[in-house]
């Protein structure tokens, strides 16, 4: 079943998709962490934005657990 126009109270706008900002879509949290050149050109043309700092989302790798007490024959 689709929502009708009187049930929808707000729509997303380009301002909702700012780099480094999180937004909720259907109850799930999304982080906008980078943009491609097309998107950067759109934001420059429409909003005059020139600074697009990417958010580092890399996580440190956890060391693998070592096997203890097993003898190989």
Q: Which phi and psi angles does 6 have, rounded to 5°?
A: -80, -15
pLDDT the model gives residue 43: 92
CA atoms within 13 Å, Cβ hemisphere of 47: 15
H-helix or E-strand spanning residue 41:
helix 37-47
Torsion of CA 41, 27, 5, 19, to 10 degrees: -10
pLDDT at position 18: 86
Per-residue pLDDT of the chain (73 residues; tens, 9 = 90+): 676 766 667 788 888 888 888 999 888 999 999 999 999 999 999 999 888 888 888 888 888 888 787 666 6
**What pTM was computed for the model?**
0.61
**What is the pLDDT at residue 10?**
78
């Amino acid at each position: 079943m689709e929502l009708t126009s009187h049930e929808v109270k707000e729509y997303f706008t380009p301002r909702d998709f700012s780099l480094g900002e999180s937004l909720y879509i259907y109850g799930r949290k999304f982080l906008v962490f980078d943009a491609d050149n097309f998107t950067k050109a759109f934001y420059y043309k429409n909003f005059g934005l020139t600074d697009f700092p990417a958010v580092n989302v890399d996580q440190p790798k956890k060391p693998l657990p070592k096997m203890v007490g097993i003898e190989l024959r």
